[in-house]
Structures are given as C-alpha cells and as structure tokens.
Structure 1
Amino acid sequence: MIAVFTLLYIAGIWLFYVKMKVAPKPTNLAVCAVIGVVAIGAIVILWRFSAPMSSQVVVNRHAIQIVPQVQGPITKIVAQPNVPLKKGEDVLFEIQKDTYEFALEQCQAALAASEKLVEQQQAAIKVADATLQQAQAEMGVAKADLTAKEASNEKTPGAVSQLELAELRQQLAGEEAAVRKASFSKEEATFALDVATAQVDGAKAKLATAEFNLSQCTVYAPADGFVTNWQVREGSMVVPLPLAPMGTFIDTSDLDVVGVYSQNVVKNVKPGDKVEIAFKNHPGQIFQGTVDAVIAASGEGQFVTSGQLVDVSDIRSSGKFAVKIKLDDETMVHELPMGTAGVTAIYTDTGKPFHVISKVTIRIKTWMYYLLPF
C-alpha cells in the first residue's frame, strides 16, 4: 500500500508540474512535501496499529531438570543425548538397587512381625474375654449363695452362722475383685491391639516408601522429548538435590510461540486474532495461528523483596509486552526446535485494508530467509 501510494504520489507530482506546467515555488513545493509526509505517516501509523509486526519471535519449550528421588551410584545409562524419548516408557538411567532391596526386605519382615503381633493381641483379647466371663459367672454363684443363706437366716434366725455369712460375703468381694481385674485385663489387651494395629499401619507406610524408593532406582523420561546436556557417566554418584541436576530434559509435547511487541501497538490485539508467522528454519513458508494471550506483565516492572531499597537508577522499561501465539498446525508443536526465531504479524479487527501491508511484508521476509541465511 505504501508503494502504491508512493507511485500515485509521484504520478500526481509529475502531472502537476510537468503536464499542468505549474511553476515550482516554495509554497507549492512545501505543500506537496507536507502532503506526502502526512499521508505516508498516516498509512504507517494505521498499519502498525491494525496489523502490528515483530521480528522478536522465539519458540519456547519447557526444560525439566533431571533430579532423581533417591541417591546412589549409576549402574547403567540408557538414554542417549538428543534422541526422542516417550514419557514413562523409555529409561534414562538406573541407580544401584542393592541398598533399597535390603530396605524393602526389612520392611516386609517388619510388616509380617507387626501382623503377627496383631494376631497375638486378638488372641489375648479372647483369653481376657473368657476370663472375664468366668469371673462374672463365679461372682454370680457367690452372690446367689449369699442371698440364699441370708434369706434362710431371716426366716429361721440362727439357721446359718454369722461366721459362714461373713465367709460368703468375703468370697463375693473376692469374686467382684476378680471381675474387675478381668475387665481391666481385657481393656489392656484392647489397648495393646490398637497399638499393634497402628504399628501395622506404620509398617505398611514404611513398606510403601521402600517400594517407591526401589522403583525410583530406574529413572524414566518425565515427558515426551529428549535429554540434552547429558554429563553423567556410569559410576557417578547421584543425589536428590535440585542444585545438582543430572542433565536437562526438553519437553516436546508442547511449546509456546512468543512475540515481543511495543506496548502501544498491542492496544487493539486480543485473544483469537489471526496471526501469520515466518520461521527462519522454514524459509518460504507461512504458518497460521491465533493470539492465545497478551502477557500484560514484564519482569522490568517487578520489585524483588529484599532488605535493600530500590535503586531508582535501575528502574526502567523497554516498553514492550509479550504475546503468546497458538499455531493452527498441531504437527509443528513436535517439529519446531526450541529457540527457533522468525517474524510474525497480527491481524486485528481494526484497519483491515491496511492488513495487506503486513501480508506482503511477511512474505518478503520469509523468502529473504533464503537469500540472507543469518
């Protein structure tokens, strides 16, 4: 559009000064210059706000630091650098299992002992219950005997000696004490069963931990992707510390295409707007997409909490926002390398006649990638 207007402008100047033979004067020369500058400036402004372009485009992927859950020497390295791997299926490396197998066996033995202790306490409760029933029965007999003798003595005074009655009362008191003792024994056995049951639960938890630790001796790919920066060797000691990763895993199951735009030109950009992208590693091709989100935040505006005051000389901003773009071609999600650069154009709902400028420009750019491979 700018080129077309320029040609028309030149043609108009030619007609005005050549065909119409108007004498060039400072006044009309100045007017013609102002008309050209204002018109082209207006076209550029409308173009930039209706179909903004950016050459600051990058393909971003998530990088996962490989940190094992357990420690030990590496016995086998399976994964090769930059070779595609499947999540949860392909093995990265294996850690020595001996220590964790011993721990698992100990936990299994401890669980078996705890379960036997539960059975023992259950049997003790049965014994205590039988003892309590027997004591209650003997107390009932003693109480019935005493009641009968007291009733007989009331009808026939002197039929039962006071000594015999005292002995019966003493026997009943002994039987009541035996009942209380048996009841306490049953309660004690119940408490012991609760403790043994809790020990079984603890042993099961320890067994689950031991099984988990043993399973973590084989480290699998955390996602679909490939491992890079692979510095480990067999025999290397690995530890579960995030500050000492074994390597870096690149997740290829998803990607983010991010373009950087000036804050003023994204005022008309909204999610769902059509996008065209030209990548440097795919010269001559245009990829379609849509705006996923305008990330209206920048690290330049973040103040980190610390004990120091903010230095005003460090407060600055480049005046740009990032725009996250979603590609229409889902196959490109797995094909585009991390860090791929390019150029992108966003087509907003405003100034649609000016979209053609960005459409032409981005197509020129993608073919220029053949001529200027840098």
Structure 2
Amino acid sequence: MSTALGMIPLMTFVPVEGAASREYVAAFRQNALQRLYKGEPAELMFPAIPGTVFRGEVADVLPAIGESQFQGQGKLLTTDALNTHGRALVVLKVTDPRFAEYALPQGATLEAAVLLGSSERAVADQEDPDPHEELGKLYLSRSLSRRARGGRTARAAVRPRCPPGRQ
C-alpha cells in the first residue's frame, strides 16, 4: 500500500506477477510450521475447476503472522484481540502443466494439501519416524481424490508423509 504522509492508504497495488507465475497463498495452522519447508510437494484443488487435483510445491513460508501485531490507539486492549488464532501464510506454486489450460482470476479460492517431510531438509530433520504418519497419508490422499470426484470428506489442509521404507 502507498500512504500519503504515513496516515491512511492512498491506493492498493494489485501485482500481476503472482498470476503469471501461478502462485497462490494458503493459510495453515501453526502446528505445521516446524515441518513446512520450501520445495515440499503439494496438491491443489480449485472449486472453479471441479474434479481436478493439480500438483504444486511450497514456494515460500512467510516469516511473520499478522495477528501478533498491535498498533497504539490511545485505548486499552480488550480480550477480543487475543481470541484470534493466527495462521501461517504459505506461498504455493502450481507446477502441473495441465494448469495452463485454465484461466483463473486473481483471488480464486483453492484447497491445498502439503505433503510434509518430502523435501531433502525435512528428511534430514526426521530422525524418529512416527508410525501413525502412514495412516495420515493414506486417509488424506484418499480425501483429496474423493473430494475431487464430489464425495464428502473432512477438510484437510496439511498431510503427513509416509516414513522412509514404509511405502
């Protein structure tokens, strides 16, 4: 945003770079932050393109959460300001070549699942694999496929990966 004399916004800038590079921003719970890395594979599903799941990857994990900011206003804070649960913003890039066939406007909504622990950094960090992660991957991979076909499933934003050797 641009401001005149630092008081109120003068105008809002709408970047076109994100649309050209097929990047989208998704909000994830904070408990996934320690396992979200750049380069992790992702699956994206757009309500505007029903029945299709696209491949993608994590392009960036933004370093700050806006809900932890407070601005001086000359009055005391109430507990209403503390009831928000900030989510981590993650930039996802569509890598699926089939996506070029579709034209979506900026701001289109999507559902995303990140395959946690698949990047080289995550594999190096994982020393003691959790046996329950395999079940999570199986359930959630069926979840996105079923949802793409129109079936009802629980909403899943993040999905763990299968530990090495258990595929």
Distance 1:311 1:285, change over 3 A: same
- Higher percent of residues as helix: 1
- Higher percent of residues as strand: 2
Output aligned runs, 1:189-268, within 5 Å: 243=10, 251=16, 252-268=19-35
Q: Please say if 1:355 is aligned against 2:122.
A: no
| Partner Cα separation in structure 1 for residue 94 and residue 80 of structure 2 | 37
Match of 1:295 in 2: 62
Unpaired runs of at least 5, structure 1 = 1-63, 66-241, 370-374
Out of 125, 146, 153, the position equivalent to 1:364 is: 146
Aligned residues of 2:62 and 2:89 also touching (Cα < 8 A) = yes
SS in 2 for 1:325: strand
One-letter amino acid of the counterpart of residue 110, structure 2: G
Aligned residues of 1:279 and 1:343 also touching (Cα < 8 A) = yes
| Cα-Cα RMSD | 3.3
Unpaired runs of at least 5, structure 2 = 3-8, 118-128, 152-167
Cα offset for 1:244? 8.0
SS in 1 for 2:20: coil
Match of 1:346 in 2: 114
Distance 1:272 1:254, change over 3 A: closer
One-letter amino acid of the counterpart of residue 311, structure 1: L
Distance 1:268 1:260, change over 3 A: same
- Normalised by the length of structure 1, the TM-score is 0.29
Cα offset for 1:285? 0.9
Out of 81, 100, 103, the position equivalent to 1:335 is: 103
Identical pairs, percent = 22
SS in 2 for 1:281: coil
SS in 1 for 2:92: strand
Cα offset for 1:332? 3.8
Out of 89, 96, 114, the position equivalent to 1:322 is: 89
Out of 77, 86, 89, the position equivalent to 1:311 is: 77
Q: Please say if 1:275 is aligned against 2:42.
A: yes
| Partner Cα separation in structure 1 for residue 24 and residue 62 of structure 2 | 12
Output aligned runs, 1:143-222, within 5 Å: none
CA deviation vs aligned residue, 1:327-370 (integer Å, no higher than 9, x gap): 1136747822222222111111263553222211011112218x
- Normalised by the length of structure 2, the TM-score is 0.60
One-letter amino acid of the counterpart of residue 113, structure 2: A
Distance 1:307 1:331, change over 3 A: same
Cα offset for 1:314? 4.0
One-letter amino acid of the counterpart of residue 346, structure 1: V
Aligned residues of 2:50 and 2:148 also touching (Cα < 8 A) = yes
Match of 1:198 in 2: none
SS in 1 for 2:146: helix
SS in 2 for 1:341: coil
Cα offset for 1:265? 2.9
